[in-house]
Amino acid sequence: MLTRGLLCSLALVAHAVGSPTSAHLPSKGKQHGATWGKEASGTWDKEASGTWGKKHGGKNHFKGHAYFGAANSSQDRAAAVKEAFQFAWDGYYQYAFPNDELHPISNSFSNSRNGWGASAADALSTALIMEIPEIVNEIVAYVPTIDWSVSYQDEPVSLFETTIRYLGGLISGYDLLTGPLSHLVNNTAYVPELLSQAANLANNLSYAFETPSGIPNNNLIFGNRSDDGSTTNGLATIGTLVLEWTRLSDLTGNDTYAQLTQKAESYLLNPQPAYNEPWDGLVGTNVALENGSFVDASGGWNGGDDSFYEYLIKVKALLFSEYRDRWIAAADSTIEHLASHPSSRPDLTFLAVYNNQTLDFTSEHLACFDGGNFILGGLVLNEQKYIDFGLKLVAACEDTYNQTLTGIGPEVFSWNASMVPADQQEFYDRAGFYITNSQYILRPEVLESFYYAYRATGDSKYQDWSWNGFVAINATCRTGSGFAEISDVNAANGGSFMDFQDSFFFAEVTKYSYLIHAEDAVWQVNNDGVNQYVFNTEAHPFKVAGTPI
């Protein structure tokens, strides 16, 4: 997934029902904006040092993670992932549907995505690919009942989150149900409703683009058709719309969706002023709504910026060479300037972030989609160097999983040798990073990149890494009626639970965990770079229009 913004402090993760903060809970990248950035950095430091000091006392014994995988066939593994998906769906359906998400410990729910049933929208394409008709039918029968004109408690509507989860989920469901999986729905009258509801939603969102430049405002107040008054929007939140809205134009014949998002994207492809593009293809983060200019020069592949780069190659896959050229520029500059090898583990490759040309050796779980995106770019462009570099990034993200006590990687980590906390020195010496935010909130990016690595190489090592990750998540996060976030990936049993199961668990974690073991199918990524489907940043597969890429 890409997308999203910064993590949430422990306080935020309380996810109180209907609390104002829960509405803003960023999923992926995004919202690097002033609010999140500040809040996040303040909290992280405190939290991380407090936690480490108390809980770890400088001792981090490495427990190897058992290779449960070795004895299991791909079919067994795929079936085990499907069982986990069904379990989580059953809990959601019993206690939360049609609200946005389940609270798996208290068996209650919340509406952090405007109350339109985010988990149902996000589960649809996974239920389809796993071929579970009962769940598919429950979701498609619900979709026509959604009223997009009313946001739960009139909370702001995020253009970005709404696009990747709801629009993405509905468009993907429509593509799969009018194509290879049409046998999974027993009332075909519901199928065209997926597309008309997607169009209704986009029509409601479209006033976001009514700004002087055409760069949309991300945060909309539907109740009075206004917005939050922001004067800027972020790179990922602007640059992660074009795949969904363009596909919607293809399917409906209404070109406006494509035009609005491609116009906004044009400012990102031709960035001004030049000094806010510190290296060719690598740009700043915040863009002025007034004139489309970048207002800073900091960025990287972390949340807030991530899926802009992701979509450059995915849109190329769909459509345009201009996007391809910008992806190549960003990828080449990344290899040259951002690739970084920890002093204690020079064999590992992480990506630094930057402010102008000054690097910061910090990365995060969100950024671990990068390996998969380099691999996809290498396949689509037939350039082995990007695949090779992507595989290095994948191996370093695997290291963030297999070095912790739970076998799950942390939310944020660093490798600045001069800043290693004393109680993590031993850990840094062994692992090549230290943990600055120890939560795991059911994110998919590491599993996503394993998927691309496996599809590109056919090397079963990546299936084993994915299986180990899935088994660890199943062992550590599964509780009550679903899967819960955990406070500390490097504590026995994950520290403590947080009572929240984000919708992307259905869209992404379970899907990528499943697909890596599943049989070939038209939606699978192919190692010859010719794909009939492309996965959006929420892991919803869309059909590629026209000639396969």
Q: Which of 100, 161, 488, 499 is catalytic?
A: 161
CB 365 within 8 Å of CB 446: yes
Q: Is 464 a catalytic residue?
A: no
Interaction with ligand NAG in 140-169: which residues (CB under 6 A)?
148-149, 154
Stretch that binds ligand NAG, among 131-139, 163-171, 235-243, 445-453 (CB under 6 A): 131-139
Query: Which listed residue (86, 230, 474, 527) binds ligand NAG by CB under 6 A?
Result: 474
Q: Which of these, 151, 166, 85, 174, lies nearest to 118 by C-alpha position?
A: 166
Total number of residues shown for the chain? 549
The two tokens of residue 255 are 């070109």
Question: Measured in whole angstroms, how far is the alpha carbon of residue 125 from the centre of its chain?
Answer: 15
Query: Which listed residue (54, 59, 61, 64) binds ligand NAG by CB under 6 A?
Result: 64
**Is residue 293 a contact residue for ligand NAG (CB under 6 A)?**
yes
Return the H-helix or E-strand segment holding 350. Answer: strand 350-351
Q: Which of these, 141, 256, 276, 164, lies nearest to 207 by C-alpha position?
A: 256
CB 436 within 8 Å of CB 415: no
Within a 13 Å sphere around the CA of 197, how many CA atoms are in the beta-carbon half?
26
Per-residue interface string for the shown chain with ligand NAG, residues 311-350, x marking contact by CB under 6 A: ----------------------------------------
Query: Which listed residue (74, 204, 425, 527) binds ligand NAG by CB under 6 A?
Result: 204
537 is in an annotated binding site: yes
The residue to which tokens 């104002």 are assigned: 20
Query: Which listed residue (14, 105, 191, 359) binds ligand NAG by CB under 6 A?
Result: 359
Query: Which listed residue (11, 16, 17, 419) binds ligand NAG by CB under 6 A?
Result: 419
Give the three-class secondary structure for 476: helix
Question: Which residue lies nearer to ligand NAG by CB, 479 or 527?
Answer: 479
Distance CA 105, CA 21 (A): 20
Question: Which amino acid, residue 355?
Answer: N
Distance CA 215, CA 433 (A): 37
Give the three-class secondary structure for 501: strand
Interaction with ligand NAG in 384-403: which residues (CB under 6 A)?
395, 398-399, 402
CB 310 within 8 Å of CB 240: yes
Distance CA 440, CA 405 (A): 13
Q: Is 445 a catalytic residue?
A: yes
Distance CA 42, CA 45 (A): 6
The two tokens of residue 361 are 């050796």
**Is residue 189 a contact residue for ligand NAG (CB under 6 A)?**
no
State the nearest-atom distance from the C-beta of 397 to ligand NAG, in Å.
9
**Is residue 74 a contact residue for ligand NAG (CB under 6 A)?**
no
Interface with ligand NAG: number of residues (CB under 6 A) = 49
**Is residue 217 a contact residue for ligand NAG (CB under 6 A)?**
no
State the nearest-atom distance from the C-beta of 295 to ligand NAG, in Å.
6
Q: Which of 47, 227, 423, 445 is catalytic?
A: 445
State the nearest-atom distance from the C-beta of 243 to ligand NAG, in Å.
17
CB 329 within 8 Å of CB 316: no
Residue ranges of the annotated binding site are 537
Which residue numbers are catalytic? 161, 306, 411, 445
Binding site for ligand NAG (CB under 6 A): 64-65, 68, 71-72, 76, 80, 133-134, 137, 148-149, 154, 186, 202-204, 206-207, 221-226, 254, 256, 275, 288, 290-291, 293, 295, 297, 356-357, 359-361, 395, 398-399, 402, 416, 418-419, 471, 474, 478
